[in-house]
Structure 1
């Protein structure tokens, strides 16, 4: 197998990771449906959903490990004799097995989407109750529109967020692609990324601080459906 074929396979695996992430979002949506229907976050089906999320997180981590190992081993091969290609598979298998053996439950629990799932389940039932109470109250329609625009608009792009993430340090929201792009740009400039929300004192936004906000994403999608129906 040529190195170009190896790199092509890695690209396919990375595409699979995107599908895994989408699947985890779908599982979270189903769990939210259960929690909102029962007005409680403790439901037999939710435990099953959490187990599925953890399995997906494990697969995601394993793909990361495999890609890292293959890239490292192939980088070594390019600096050696062509004969070293014959030992490529054995080296990858050995190093990958060692990495997997060190995969801990704590690492899975800290997976971004696992953290997001747990936070969503924690807040889902109480959120449903609050929304029910708010629906009883009569609110000025202009105020509702203004609140929706503030909650749904990314402070970076100034348009409605598609994949909102919450900064666990300052609790501000951004569209995932926009904030990751800003973090990368600042990193390339060897600078820290300041929270783009006006007046925020958080001067060092890191990717590890960001948690997907499934509830907000759900609200945005619901708002879109309502707008389309009208």
Structure 2
């Protein structure tokens, strides 16, 4: 390692951090899926609290990794831009001077945690509504309104649901992205295909995976 060029060392470090970032995203996905299962099957609330605490910890890890990546990228850019020599390690530490002060309490306002808690709230509402309809206290059974699972584009059950951040409607991911690409190719605006929706300017960036709907669809399929 001592003979490696600094640029190579930095690239190796960045590659390792990006790999760590992907691993963190997988952990977040797993924590979310497990917690949704816990809510679905009416597991002891203390277990759900443990999962929420674990998500705070993971959000902190993810936040720090993001900061490390940003700091390395900035040092890399400084090396290319600045004429005068400087100590890369000192500059790196300077960019990270406040990162150790981050705490799990700070993570309660982090987008990762806020999104996670939003998904849990949505799941609680869905389970509460549909369990009441089914007269079942063991958690969600089968949605009485199967239209919630039907893509307005394909008219079949959604397999990979995405939600429109702007209007809240759901679609089959491949179908809606193809629709957006097709319309934008002809320089046309894209209207949400849900009947009655007034959102008239859809973009790929408006879409995000809907873990709650994915979970409900999977559970419904298992219970058929």
Tell me if TM exceeds 0.5.
yes
**In 2, Cα distance between the equivalents of 1:209 and 1:6?**
34
- State the shift of 1:146 in Å: 7.0
Task: Map Cα deviations across residues 105-129 of structure 1 (whole Å, 9 max, x no partner).
Answer: 55x3343332232123223334224
- The equivalent residue for 1:202 is 199
- With over 3 angstroms needed to count, the CA separation of the structure-2 counterparts of 1:166 and 1:6, relative to structure 1, is same
Contact 1:165 1:210 in 2 (8 A): yes
SS at match of 1:166: strand
Deviation of 1:226 after TM superposition, in Å, equals: 7.0
The reply on whether 1:89 has 2:102 as its aligned counterpart is no
* Stretches of structure 2 lacking an aligned partner (at least 5 in a row): 136-143, 182-186
Q: 1:6 to 1:213 in 2, by over 3 A?
A: same
Shift of residue 44, structure 1, vs aligned partner: 0.9
Q: Which runs of 5+ in 1 are unaligned?
A: 137-143, 186-190
> Residues 181 and 2 (structure 1 numbering): CA distance in 2 closer, same or farther, change over 3 Å?
farther
Q: Residues 197 and 218 (structure 1 numbering): CA distance in 2 closer, same or farther, change over 3 Å?
A: same
Aligned to 1:5: 9
Quote the offset at 1:194 in angstroms.
5.9
Cα gap change, 1:217 to 1:13, in 2 (>3 Å): farther
Which residue of structure 2 lines up, in the alignment, with residue 25 of structure 1?
A: 29
- Number of residue pairs matched by the alignment: 206
Q: Is contact 2:162-2:209 (8 Å) kept?
A: yes
2:78 paired residue among 73, 76, 79: 76
Q: Once the 2 structures are TM-superposed, how far is the Cα of residue 97 of structure 1 from its aligned partner?
A: 2.0
Aligned to 1:140: none
- Deviation, 1:80, is 3.7
Given that residues 113 and 211 in structure 1 are in contact (C-alpha distance below 8 angstroms), is that contact kept between their aligned partners in structure 2?
no
Sort the Cα spacing of 1:223 and 1:43 in 2 relative to 1 into closer, same or farther, 3 A.
Answer: closer
**Distance change in 2, residues 1:88/1:48 (3 Å):** same
Query: CA 1:71–1:179 in structure 2 vs 1: closer, same or farther (change >3 Å)?
Result: farther
Cα 1:218–1:196 shift into 2, 3 Å: same
The Cα shift of 1:101 comes to 4.0
- Which deviations, in whole Å up to 9, do the C-alpha atoms of 1:192-226 show, x marking residues without a partner? x9665456433566899766532112134446667
CA distance in 2, matches of 1:90, 1:20: 27
